[in-house]
Structure 1
Amino acid sequence: MRTPLVTLLLAVLCVEQAHPFMCYVCQEQESNKNCLTISMCAEEDKYCVTVHDNVGTKPSKPKYIISKMCSPTCPASGQQQNQTYPRVSCCEKPLCNVNGVSSKQSSSGMMSLGVLASVTYIFTCGL
């Protein structure tokens, strides 16, 4: 079982972007663990976007929500310099928004980890 997983992971990482790429997608979730749904992006989409928003009412107990999506552009957040919310981050590789704090230049290691986690989950659930 290990060989097919490794082969699949290598295939995903080596495929050039001939087809639309994939991103993790979710809407207003309280945890990144609820944001691991993979979606094929539209052909015009070039970015995986992650948005963190502070919805807490008490400064001492912040509450955050996270949304992830595909996008043709990287939405700008004029307030990102001082880390006020909402905080928007973008990346340009398939499944690069796995960890919820992606940056413009994501590491291939995190992407590999995301792909491996997704493949493992699919096989263990028998999907």
Structure 2
Amino acid sequence: TRRHVPVLLAWPAASSLFCYTCDNEHSNWNCLKTYKCEDHEKYCITTYSTSGFGKDTGYRITKKCSADCPETNMNFGVAAISTKCCGTSLCNFSGANSVKISYAVMLLGIVASLVCVIRAGL
């Protein structure tokens, strides 16, 4: 008797990543366009930056696909930048609650900068 052996076919994995994208926008509402990432891009990233202080503070949001995960959180006193990444489709929806820089952290950066300037002058 003949035996039938099942044949397994190798299908390419459907692991396409989709991310929200925008470039240097003032509002997260302008960052809701979706984009199919390239095969080598495994992360969605959101970069949130601020500059200025008080009423003159400006905000910018950039979202895109990325091959690496460059999470950062830097504060330069009157300017700050924070980058967060995630690895599932459309996971970079929020532009505010995951990466916003607090005013307290910005104020501490300004105070530390002033202390360094004052000490350098002495």
Give me the TM-score of the superposition, normalised by structure 1: 0.58
More helix as a share of residues? 1
Aligned to 1:52: 48
Q: Number of residues paired by the alignment?
A: 82
Tell me if 1:42 matches 2:38: yes
**Cα displacement string for residues 53-110 of structure 1 (whole angstroms, at most 9, x for unaligned residues):** 113x3x1122100000000101132637xxx72100111110000111476xxxxxxx
Aligned to 1:65: 60
Which of 1 and 2 has greater Rg? 2
More strand as a share of residues? 2
Change (3 A) 1:91 1:101: farther
Give me the TM-score of the superposition, normalised by structure 2: 0.60
Runs (4+) off by over 3 Å: none
* Structure 1 runs not aligned, ≥5 long: 1-16, 104-127
- 2:80 is aligned, of 82, 85, 89, to 85
SS across alignment from 2:72: coil
CA RMSD of aligned residues (A): 2.1
Aligned to 2:92: 97
**1:33 partner amino acid:** W
Measured in 2, the distance between the counterparts of 1:18 and 1:38 equals 17
- 2:23 is aligned, of 21, 27, 45, to 27
Query: Percent of aligned positions with the same letter in both sequences?
Result: 35
